[in-house]
């Protein structure tokens, strides 16, 4: 995978009872996930083992035999604090047990995603190149924070057509920044028609998220934001299905939401996993809120005409970066492959 230039929080949310974030049943397969598995089998001749589901968190029950006084104390401690703010109805939306989840790195590794143990891998080095080019335009360190901050830390990841691997790029980019740099990253699944982020992380695919916020069905961002327990990564799911999210993404509520999440933390990077440009008008509306755009190109399938058509939909003054995905490595000494394979063998 090569980078090609062109045109150029928080305290834990109070748990809600009954259900967890983890899927209890296998969701319908995501087309991009099928592509990754097929590519993995084609390149290696190995079929990935069945994915293990992360263990579900449970709330401990009081020990039997506890005195009535102690039971009352524990019940009061567990009871939610009354809020003066009137909450909007969540009718029809699933109750959640916790707003925290844990990354299942074994699951991610089997599908080619970056993990802490694979920091010297070829894919990790390739994403360091992509990440470094994007971060050079951001004002994240102490010296650059004095400058007027734009939207360069808001990144839109899209493609020309479906199944080019944009979600794979968006998730790996987020993981690379979190694991290497330690910056706070918010990954937003903005592909409402075909959401993939929740499926990649093994979460339920019916979680409230972006569209519910914009439609007013959820009052606050903290009510729907999912936080990783051990890393500075948060995930905003796509939310409920809508006929067309273009008006939502181009409206004042979306503008205010992006302004809020982009300015709340000085070291936060926001990554939107957006729909393909030639399949929907939604990414064009989303691009208005982003400071940089990553256009993912399938090396074997995407035509030059499709790329040109996709780029024509973006503004000429936007920072657009093209990432060539699914390339076939014919020479094992190309770029980082040979060196880091030898490095890992020597280390082991």
| 263-305 pLDDT tens trace | 887 778 999 999 999 999 999 999 999 999 999 999 989 999 9
> Which domain does 287 fall in, by range?
107-139+148-348
Please check the confidence at residue 348 and state whether its pLDDT lies above 80: no
Of 149, 167, 139, 124, the closest CA to residue 34 belongs to: 167
**Nearest Cα residue to 128 out of 177, 178, 183, 187:** 177
Domains identified in the chain, total number: 1
Domain assignment present for 75: no
Please report the pLDDT score of residue 243 as a whole number: 85
Range 236-249 average pLDDT: 92
Task: Determine which of 25-29, 228-232, 251-255 has the lowest per-residue pLDDT on average.
Answer: 25-29
Mean pLDDT of all residues in the chain?
75
Evaluate whether residue 2 is within a structural domain: no
CB 169 within 8 Å of CB 134: no
pLDDT reading at 312 higher than 80? yes
Tokens encoding 155: 């990144």
Which pLDDT value is given to residue 265? Answer: 74
d(CA 164, CA 279): 12
pLDDT at residue 211 in the model: 95
Give a yes or no: residue 38 inside a domain.
Answer: no
| 56-70, 196-210, 212-226, 324-338: least confident range | 56-70
More confident residue, 318 or 252: 252
In a domain, 224, yes or no: yes
The model's pTM is: 0.70
Six-digit token pair at 63?
């020990």
CATH assignment at residue 244: 3.40.50.300
Residue 233 lies in a domain: yes
Separation between Cα atoms, residue 136 and residue 333, nearest integer Å: 28
> Above pLDDT 70, what percent of the chain?
63
For residue 105, the model assigns a pLDDT of 95
What number is the average pLDDT over the span 39-61? 46
Q: How many CB atoms lie within 10 A of CB 142?
A: 8
Residue 25 lies in a domain: no
In a domain, 1, yes or no: no
Distance CA 101, CA 15 (A): 12
pLDDT tops 80 at residue 235: yes
Tokens of 119: 């920091």
Residue 198 lies in a domain: yes
Neighbours of 212 (CB within 10 A): 22
In this model, does residue 335 exceed pLDDT 60?
A: no
Question: Do 144 and 258 touch, CB atoms closer than 8 A?
Answer: no
How many whole angstroms separate alpha carbon 116 and alpha carbon 98? 25
Report the relative pairing of strands 226-228 and 233-236 from DSSP bridges: antiparallel
pLDDT score recorded for residue 245: 92
- Residue 98: both structure tokens together: 């916790």
Q: Which two tokens stand for residue 48?
A: 């990935």
CB 239 within 8 A of CB 224: yes
> For 163-218, how does the pLDDT look when each residue is reduced to its tens digit (9 = 90+)?
999 999 999 999 999 999 989 999 999 999 999 999 999 999 889 999 999 999 87
């Amino acid at each position: 995978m090569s980078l090609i230039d062109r045109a150029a929080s928080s305290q834990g949310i109070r748990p809600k009872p009954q259900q967890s974030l983890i899927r209890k049943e296998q969701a319908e397969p995501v087309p991009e996930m099928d592509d990754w598995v097929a590519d993995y089998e084609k390149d290696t001749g190995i079929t990935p083992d069945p994915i293990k589901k992360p263990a579900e968190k449970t709330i401990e029950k009081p020990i039997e035999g506890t005195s009535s006084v102690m039971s009352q104390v524990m019940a009061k401690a567990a009871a939610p604090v009354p809020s003066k703010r009137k909450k909007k109805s969540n009718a029809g939306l699933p109750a959640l047990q916790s707003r925290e989840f844990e990354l299942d790195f074994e699951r991610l590794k089997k599908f080619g995603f970056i993990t802490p143990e694979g920091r010297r891998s070829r894919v990790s080095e390739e994403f360091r190149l992509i990440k470094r080019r994007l971060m050079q335009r951001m004002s994240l360190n102490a010296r650059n924070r004095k400058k007027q901050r734009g939207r360069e830390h808001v990144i839109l990841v899209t493609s020309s057509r479906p199944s080019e691997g944009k979600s794979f790029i968006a998730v790996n980019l987020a993981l690379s920044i979190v694991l290497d740099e330690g910056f706070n990253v918010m990954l937003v699944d903005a592909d409402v028609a075909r959401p993939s982020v929740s499926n990649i992380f093994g979460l339920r695919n019916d979680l409230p998220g972006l569209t519910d916020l914009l439609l007013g069905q959820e009052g606050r961002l903290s009510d729907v934001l999912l936080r990783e327990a051990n890393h500075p990564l948060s995930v905003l799911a796509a939310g409920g299905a809508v006929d067309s999210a273009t008006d939502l993404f181009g409206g004042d509520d979306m503008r205010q939401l992006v302004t809020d999440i982009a300015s709340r933390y000085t070291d936060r990077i926001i990554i939107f996993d957006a729909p393909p440009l030639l399949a929907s008008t939604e990414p064009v509306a989303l691009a208005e809120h982003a400071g940089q755009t990553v256009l993912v190109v399938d090396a074997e399938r995407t035509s030059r005409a499709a790329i040109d058509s996709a780029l024509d939909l973006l503004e000429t003054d936007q920072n657009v970066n093209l990432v060539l995905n699914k390339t076939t490595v014919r020479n094992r000494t190309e770029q980082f492959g040979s060196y880091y394979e030898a490095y890992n063998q020597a280390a082991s």
